[in-house]
Structures are given as C-alpha cells and as structure tokens.
C-alpha cells in the first residue's frame, strides 16, 4: 500500500531538519503531481549515518510545473521538473 497514487496532487513538506536530506530546498513547500511510484528504498536519511537495515520508504517521482517552483520562470508555461521524493516528505493537498 502506498499513500499517494499516480496523478495525485501533493505538496512537499516545508521542513528543514538537520542531517543528510535528499529533498532539494527549491521544492520544499511546492505543489506537484505524482508522476510515478518508483518502489521502496532505504531511507537515505538513515543510510547516511550507517543504519543499513533502516526503514524502507516509498519513493515517488513528482512533476512540478516550472512556474510552481519559480514564479518568475522565463521559459514556456508547460516546462516541468521531475524530482524523486520520499513519502515522508509529501503531504496531501
């Protein structure tokens, strides 16, 4: 069971916890759409500190419209960025 489904609108948490985080700052607090569910992987926030048998987390690819990331984006309105984001960084819209 995964928490989000393909096509669902999601928001990236706006947190700023310490440690090794693989959710880029520029996506935090932004809304996008689940493009695909990549499967389950070890949480990099635990792996980075040597916990090799830590929790498995569902990884999503979330598609963001460029204008949602950068309001002053100068390319076309259809341009997008796809970012891999773990489930605990996503919340329902």
Partner 1 sequence: MSEHHDHAPPPDVDGPLTYHQKLAQALEILLVEKGVFSANEMRTAIEELDARDPADGAKLVARAWMDGDFKALLLSDTKSAAAEFGIDTGDVNIVVMENTPAIHNLIVCTLCSCYPRTLIGLPPDWYKSQNYRRRAVREPRAVIAEFGTVIPDDVEVRVHDSTADLRYMVLPMRPDGSDGMDEEALAALVTRDCLVGVTNPTVP
Q: Binding residues for partner 1, per CB under 8 A?
A: 22-24, 26, 38-39, 41, 44, 59, 61, 69-70, 73-76, 78-86
CB of 13 to partner 1, least distance (A): 14
- Residue 3 or 44: the one with the smaller Cβ distance to partner 1 is 44
Handedness of CA 58, 62, 68, 69 (dihedral sign): positive
State the Cα angle at 84 between 81 and 90, rounded to 5°.
100
CB of 77 to partner 1, least distance (A): 10
Structural contact between residues 36 and 60, judged by C-beta atoms closer than 8 angstroms: yes
CB of 69 to partner 1, least distance (A): 7
How many residues make up the chain in this entry?
93
SS3 23: coil
CB of 16 to partner 1, least distance (A): 15
- Residue 25 or 92: the one with the smaller Cβ distance to partner 1 is 25
The two three-digit tokens of residue 64, written as one number: 């963001």
């Amino acid at each position: 069971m995964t928490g989000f489904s393909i096509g669902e609108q999601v928001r990236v948490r706006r947190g700023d916890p310490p440690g090794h985080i693989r959710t880029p700052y520029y996506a935090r607090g932004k809304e996008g759409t689940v493009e695909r569910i990549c499967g389950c992987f070890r949480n990099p926030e635990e792996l980075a500190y040597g916990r090799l048998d830590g929790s498995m987390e569902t990884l999503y690819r979330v598609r963001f419209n460029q204008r949602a990331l950068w309001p002053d984006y100068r390319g076309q309105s259809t341009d997008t960025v796809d970012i891999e984001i773990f489930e605990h960084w996503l919340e329902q819209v």
